[in-house]
Amino acid sequence: MKFQWIFLLGILFAIIVSIFAVINVDSVTVNYLFGTAEWPLILVILGSVLMGGFIVFSINIVKIYTLRRKIKQQENIIDDFESRPGVLSRMNPPS
């Protein structure tokens, strides 16, 4: 259910950005470090949105990778404790 809400919010955001971009079709001057160019504002808006999405995606990929590595380390620690005889029984006092 959570994924559906995120998906719907993403579609809503895409529609809002698309409407905003279609309304703004004038040419604008884009200044680069090495020069300038005339581009339609719609391309500047959509390019900015795509670049922002790529940055967020990249950050999340790194975060997922580090969390998976941390989970693997924790699983190795658990496996190490489970392989030692009597360690867990000494840690949990009998009821």
13-55 pLDDT, tens digit per residue, is 889 888 887 887 889 999 988 899 999 888 888 888 899 999 9
Count of the separate structural domains present in the chain: 1
- Structural domain for 47, as ranges: 2-91
- What pTM does this model have? 0.62
Whether the pLDDT of residue 66 is over 80: the answer is yes
Tokens of 9: 């919010």
pLDDT computed for residue 91 by the predictor = 63
φ, ψ (nearest 5 deg) of residue 35: 165, -165
pLDDT computed for residue 17 by the predictor = 80
DSSP code of residue 90:
H
